[in-house]
Structure 1
Amino acid sequence: MEENQDYLNELNELPVEKQESVLKGLLKQPKPAWAVAFACVIAFMGIGLVDPILKSISEQLHATPAQTSLLFTSYMLVTGIVMLFSGFISSRIGAKRTLLYGLVIIIIFAILGGLSNSVGQLVGFRAGWGLGNALFISTALSAIVGVSVGGTEQSIIMYEAAMGLGMSVGPLLGGILGSFSWRAPFFGVATLMTVAFISVTILLEKIPKPEKKVGFWDALRALKHKGLLITGITALFYNFGFFTLLAYSPFRMESYSAMQVGFVFFGWGLCLAISSVFLAPKLQEKFGTKNMMYTALLLFAFDLMIMGFGANNSTVISVCIIIAGLFQGINNTLITTAVMEVAPVERSIASSAYSFIRFTGGALAPWLAGKLADWYNPHVTFWFAAAAVAVGALVLFAGRRYLDNIE
């Protein structure tokens, strides 16, 4: 998702005939590329899988919303830290082994999550899940590029399509399986990941290790570049809104079943995918990268503010969640493109540094969202998230001179 996003923008600037040719080429990709893409779908499903079952987990494990939201906090914190060093690991043991280790770790901790008897155990096992996900996701794109045919554009489309499908289907699957038991989605992911592991093992040949190995601290050193640091801090504040919506808003749809919550986030995921792949590049070309980033952030902040006013109305919350996907998809694509272009370092290193800041910093948001509701009320939770996203826009504006080259 982070790497090579600028190729997506180049693709959207191609003539329509060329775009159609690239899209048709997806059907001609070899089996190894499809095996990794399928595994990507399942990996991204895990991000939103627990949304529809958060209320069930809270009720059946006798946990508060703040305690239950720690499922996201532990997951993101470990993901962010491990992504900082994933390039170091992959460049030494190889891409295929990194992918398979990540899948095995996800399978193990998904099963353990389904067997949990307390929210504390579940939070710990979600942290383990984050470890596996970081290893897999950080390596998957380079693996697809390495085994696909027809050019980089087709590889990126395949990866982005897998991400969008996973982000949208994850909550839907969580809602369907969660209607039987909150444990079922965990076992469902473990089963699908096992199929993905077998597919990658059989179909993906060994990928040569890169000639130049990534240094252990290369990603942290990259943060000395102010442009990269500015985009990372912007993403940190943005993630306060992103994960407040993802981890806390399900508790405000009190009249909805797990299935209904799943459909709401399915709609959110579709809007996220459509706007990130199709709308963002066109708006960027017409209005400029920074201008659209300001706009998307402020519109998302406004959306969260409306959620604050309607915090006790399930319909208002659900409609705002779906609409937010449009603004988030645009911002995700543009800020990722900025990260890839702003720093004079390799894309993989810039991606690791950026992911470290946004995930580890944003990990506080799910827990804080629940605590703010406990300390004050649910309205304050969404208003605080709106303020945080607005601060992200201000940070971006204040550091705009370090981002001139992204235009």
Structure 2
Amino acid sequence: MSISDRVRVRDSTDAPGRPGDGVKLLALAVGFVMATLDATVVTVAAVDIADDMGLGAAALTWLMDGYILSFASLLLLSGSLADRFGARRTYLAGLTLFVIASTMCGLADSGGLLIASRIVQGAAAALFMPSSLSLLVGAFGEPRRRASILGYWTAIVSTASGLGPVVGGVLVDTLGWRSIFLVNIPFGILGAILTLRRIDSSPRRPRALSLASNAAGAGLLAALSIALIQGPHLGWSSPQVIALATTGVLAAGVLVLSERSVASPLIPRSLLANPTFVATTIIGLLLNFGLFGLIFMLGVVLQRAWGLTPMMAGMWLLPMMAVFVLGNLTFARLARRVGSRRPVLVALPLAAVGLATMVTVSASTPYAVLAVVVGVANFCVGVTVPALTAALMAAASGHANTAAALLNANRQVGALLGVAVAGTVLADTADWYHAASVAFTVAALAYGAAACLAWRIPRST
């Protein structure tokens, strides 16, 4: 390679971006941001909605969990639809349905209609979230440039997730609870217009839709999600949870039998045979398992053991959460130079070791120590998430839609599983610091296992 060729390669790798990159990124981030915000803003509006609609505790639970349920259960189907009809068409269909469902939520005159509209919102999010990721991969072809863009994209989503309760609180206080849904309308329309103008149509990969596999996959995710949501409240040995677990096992059995017998399985066999794809998929589940369980535990312990109000607990958690965005942006800068593998190999062990030092947490542990250790661990997770996404999508090759759907599904399951385990630990002890110690131990082990699997990522990534 000549000196001039090396200069051109270096310049293209280090360049901050190309004309139009920002618009493409915005077009594909809009849907993800709306879905992320809608998963969190309802928590701060729940009291106002309950008072206005006369909803009880059970109805409020369905208002929040119905969205998660329909979203999680339809993710695998959405990957198949994106293959069959094209990712851009599926993304636009999801955005359109999400805007319609948001309008229905904002205009709902009964609790039943509001809950039904929330379920439709979740289904719409399941359509466009995997498609947005596969379109992003297609729009940015060069691997390291794509990895860098994924860092910025993840930073946008992380910011939206962190600001969700804040944005919801401002909207509810100033414009009323209906505004948290109606605000989606202009953003959804903007995302659709930008997508039509700036995102190229994606190639279709027509394949037969196995009704048995899709139904079994949806049933498995639905049963698992409900069981993990309700388990800590109803008790893991309750008849309802046992019935859900049985349903999940039966659905899993049907899924396995169907996948073995059909010519076009829901999850392509080449993906399951790819060690990089399998490893990064498991790492994604482990990260969300440890992260969300830890966040849930900290929110409870700061209030129960340290006597903080909900607002103060949120303020104390804010510095630990804000570093996610810094981690995402750090990776976006590193990716063009060092790729995806090396940041993960450094970040995951550091996060695991950091959390392991907190297993001795007690009443004498200063807040500053807690904030620094958890903050460093979360920063490392912020570096790792876009790196893993880039590695997984690179390994998926021609199956980007299915890979994106699986990525979102397993992260959703990991988050629900982490919260369920943390909730069970908290419910079974009166010693809040012991519960915190167990949660730190579990999260450290999860991150440690993820760090070991990260060595399966190819050196070229």
TM norm structure 2: 0.62
The reply to whether residue 219 of structure 1 matches residue 267 of structure 2 is yes
**Alignment partner, residue 415 of structure 2:** 362
Which structure ranks higher in relative contact order (CA pairs < 8 Å, sequence separation ≥ 6)? 1
The reply to whether residue 193 of structure 1 matches residue 247 of structure 2 is no
Q: 1 CA distance for matches of 2:379 and 2:109?
A: 35
**Alignment partner, residue 238 of structure 1:** 287
Unaligned runs of 5+ in 2: 1-7, 210-264
**TM-fit CA distance, 1:195:** 1.0
Q: 1 CA distance for matches of 2:62 and 2:439?
A: 15
Contact 1:280/1:329 (8 A) holds in 2? no
Q: How many residue pairs are counted as aligned between the two chains?
A: 384
Contact 2:289/2:415 (8 A) holds in 1? yes
* Paired residues for 1:49-64 under 5 Å: 49=41, 53=44
Unaligned runs of 5+ in 1: 1-12
Provide the secondary structure at the position in 2 that maps to 1:205.
Answer: helix
The 1:293–1:387 alpha-carbon spacing in structure 2 relative to 1, beyond 3 Å, is same
* Paired residues for 1:200-211 under 5 Å: 200-205=191-196, 208=201, 210-211=203-204
Q: 2 CA distance for matches of 1:122 and 1:302?
A: 44
The reply to whether residue 372 of structure 1 matches residue 425 of structure 2 is yes
**Alignment partner, residue 346 of structure 1:** 399
The reply to whether residue 175 of structure 1 matches residue 175 of structure 2 is no
TM norm structure 1: 0.69
Contact 1:219/1:352 (8 A) holds in 2? no
The 1:291–1:180 alpha-carbon spacing in structure 2 relative to 1, beyond 3 Å, is closer
Q: 2 CA distance for matches of 1:280 and 1:289?
A: 8
Q: 2 CA distance for matches of 1:121 and 1:367?
A: 29
Residue type at the aligned position of 1:387? T
* Paired residues for 1:106-125 under 5 Å: 106-107=98-99
Contact 1:99/1:135 (8 A) holds in 2? yes
Provide the secondary structure at the position in 2 that maps to 1:360.
Answer: helix
**Alignment partner, residue 356 of structure 2:** 302
**TM-fit CA distance, 1:138:** 1.3
Q: 2 CA distance for matches of 1:130 and 1:95?
A: 18
What percent identity do the matched residue pairs reach? Answer: 18
**TM-fit CA distance, 1:326:** 0.7
The 1:212–1:402 alpha-carbon spacing in structure 2 relative to 1, beyond 3 Å, is same
Q: 2 CA distance for matches of 1:121 and 1:184?
A: 21
**TM-fit CA distance, 1:319:** 5.3
**Alignment partner, residue 267 of structure 1:** 322
**TM-fit CA distance, 1:88:** 1.4
**Alignment partner, residue 346 of structure 2:** 292
RMSD value, Cα: 5.0
Contact 1:42/1:193 (8 A) holds in 2? yes
> What are the superposed Cα offsets for residues 345-388 of structure 1, whole Å, 9 maximum, x if unpaired?
63443443344333224322223323321221543554444333
Contact 2:280/2:392 (8 A) holds in 1? yes
The 1:182–1:249 alpha-carbon spacing in structure 2 relative to 1, beyond 3 Å, is farther
